[in-house]
Homo-oligomer: A and B are copies of this chain.
Amino acid sequence: MLLHNLLPGLSIDCVIFGFHQNELRVLLLKMKQSERWSLPGGFIRLDRDVDEEAAHILHTRTGLDNIFLKQFHLFGKQNRSNTSHIEPLIEQNVLPASSFQWFDQRFATIGYYALVEYASVTQPIADTTSDCIAWCPLPDIPSLILDHHQIIEHARVALKEELNFRPVGRNLLPDEFTMPELQSLYETILETSLDRRNFRRKILSLGILKDTGKKRLGAANKAPSLYTFDEVKYAEAVEKGFKSGFL
């Protein structure tokens, strides 16, 4: 990390959501020399756009490219950053002593969230200041550094709102999925249960699904149909949003 090569005053934190067994999980790093965890994040190289750097962080931790990644909020409280999580790393020579001055600045951080298919990230990669990286279920988030709890909560609310506007699911589900699997994803994000018939009617009316004509075999009940997202219409809806509300 060449610190003179970085934009001062601003950092990036990524809330990477995965969906597994009807649960949303978040990718977190366990800090070395500490019981606390952190969001994947970093600083911005002077020769990279902020969005580019966020995509780079996501790629470095997950190996994934071309993932839906959305800026959702700048966290700018004047006292939000401090060096308490960095000091043990400097004491143990994980970070050089010369980096203290860098971390001792005030940082605002820009939050991004990403949606990834859990199964596509089999070997997430920790960074040099972390012991390990793991998917943590949202109800069981461990103790986090700085305001990272608040950043996750904010991302969650932003994702809920997004769901009413734009299609969500393409990166969270496998290519082919059943209507109950899709409903379960929506219920998990919205933290509520939805009526089966209304959900089906509503989601079909959006025109973003294609019936593959195939069935999921081996199910206990009647074999359910497998759907896939219509690539073109899905992309259009991400671009333009659903015509909801007054439009």
Contact = CB atoms under 8 A, between A and B. Distances in A.
A247 interface: yes
A165 B245 contact: yes
Contacts of A8: 8-9
A164 B246 contact: yes
A50 B81 CA distance: 13
Interface in A137-164: 161, 163-164
Interface in A38-71: 44, 46-52, 71
A196 interface: no
A88 interface: no
A164 B161 contact: no
Given A9-B10, A49-B77, A108-B50, A164 B165 contact: yes
Interface stretch (A127-135, A186-194, A219-227): A186-194
Contact of A245 (B73, B164, B192, B246): B164
Contacts of A106: 7, 46
Contacts of A77: 49-50
A10 B108 contact: yes
A78 B241 contact: no
A202 interface: yes
A247 B160 CA distance: 10
A78 B10 CA distance: 13
A165 B74 CA distance: 21
A177 interface: no
A76 interface: yes
Contacts of A161: 165, 241
Given A46-B106, A164-B244, A165-B245, A74 B76 contact: no
A166 B124 CA distance: 38
Contacts of A165: 161, 164-165, 245
A7 B9 contact: yes
A241 B8 CA distance: 35
Given A106-B7, A246-B202, A49 B78 contact: yes
A16 interface: no
Interface string A164-179: 1100000000000000
